[in-house]
Amino acid sequence: MPLLDRNGAKDDIWARSEGAAIGNISAPIVPWDALPDALNQRAPDQPLGVLIPNNISVEALKEVLPHLALVAISFPAYSDGRGFSLARQLRRHGFTGTLRASGPLIADQFAYALSSGFDEVELPEASAGRQPVAQWLRALEQISHTYQRGYGDGGSNILDQRRAARAAAQVHSQAPAQVPAQVPAQLQAEAS
């Protein structure tokens, strides 16, 4: 199935396994219910991923997270936003592996997915066929800054930028003959 991240389409190094039979797969993604067996069977240096439904609680995942290199969260429909919250919680619990959103998302959700902690999106053929990769990358650029703190890249949200502008204005007001204090310095920095 087509896979993309913030840079565009990418090859999938992972392969889904049927159950816990992962012997022949270099980087397997196992179903949630096969995870305990797969953890027992894996080779010492074999990376392991899991595909989870979006109604698993983070409590149930906490213990296995350190053993996983990838967690794919299933999106049964684009309108079901549970995966965004689950991704946030997994990141908060210190998961640093790959987070994958798997399901019929739409391009307009790409920025939301990345901001919530996902690294990549795996689409069914039908969705990907209608929505070329270029649309996803364009959608990512459409809203340059949003208001929520703590999502996505630190500091790029509007509240933190206002704060930075205030700090810069204070510095400027202490050093005369600089840019007028009310000009938002960070905007100039961005344009360059």
Partner 1 sequence: MYRYDEFDERFVRERVAQFSDQVSRRLDGSLTEDEFKPLRLKNGVYLQLHAYMLRIAVPYGTLNGRQLRQLALIGERFDRGYGHFTTRQNLQFNWPKLRDVPEILGLLADVEMHCIQTSGNCIRNVTADHFAGVAQDEIEDPRPTAELIRQWSSLHPEFSYLPRKFKIAVTGAEADRAVTKAHDIGLRLRRHPHTHEVCYEVSVGGGLGRTPMIGKVVRDYLPKADLLAFLEAIMRVYNLEGRRDNKYKARVKILVHETGTEEFIRRVEEEFAQLDGPSINADPEEVARIAAYFAPPTYEALPAVSRTLDAMKAANPAFARWVEVNTTPHKAPGYTALTISLKPVGEAPGDATSEQMRIVADLAEQFSHDELRVTHAQNLVLPHVRQRDLFTIWQRLGEAKLASANIGLITDIISCPGLDYCALATARSIPIAQAIQHRFASDTRQRDIGELNIKISGCINACGHHHVGHIGILGLEKRGIESYQITLGGDASENAAIGEILGPGLAAEDVPDAIERIVNVYLAERNEGESFLANVRRIGLSPFKAAFQEVVHAAA
**Which positions touch partner 1 (CB under 8 A)?**
55, 57, 78-82, 84-86, 88-89, 92, 106-109, 111-113, 115-116, 130-132, 135, 138-139, 142-152, 158-159, 161-163, 166, 184, 187
Alpha-carbon span 71 to 98, nearest angstrom: 6
The residue (of 18 and 108) whose beta carbon lies closer to partner 1 is 108
Least separation in angstroms between CB 69 and partner 1: 24
The residue (of 14 and 151) whose beta carbon lies closer to partner 1 is 151
The residue (of 41 and 161) whose beta carbon lies closer to partner 1 is 161
Which segments of the chain are extended strands (E)?
3-5, 8-9, 15-16, 28-31, 49-52, 70-74, 98-102, 120-122
Alpha-carbon span 95 to 98, nearest angstrom: 8
Least separation in angstroms between CB 43 and partner 1: 35
Q: Which residues pair with 70 in a beta bridge?
A: 49, 98
49, 29 in Cβ contact below 8 A?
Answer: yes
Least separation in angstroms between CB 88 and partner 1: 6
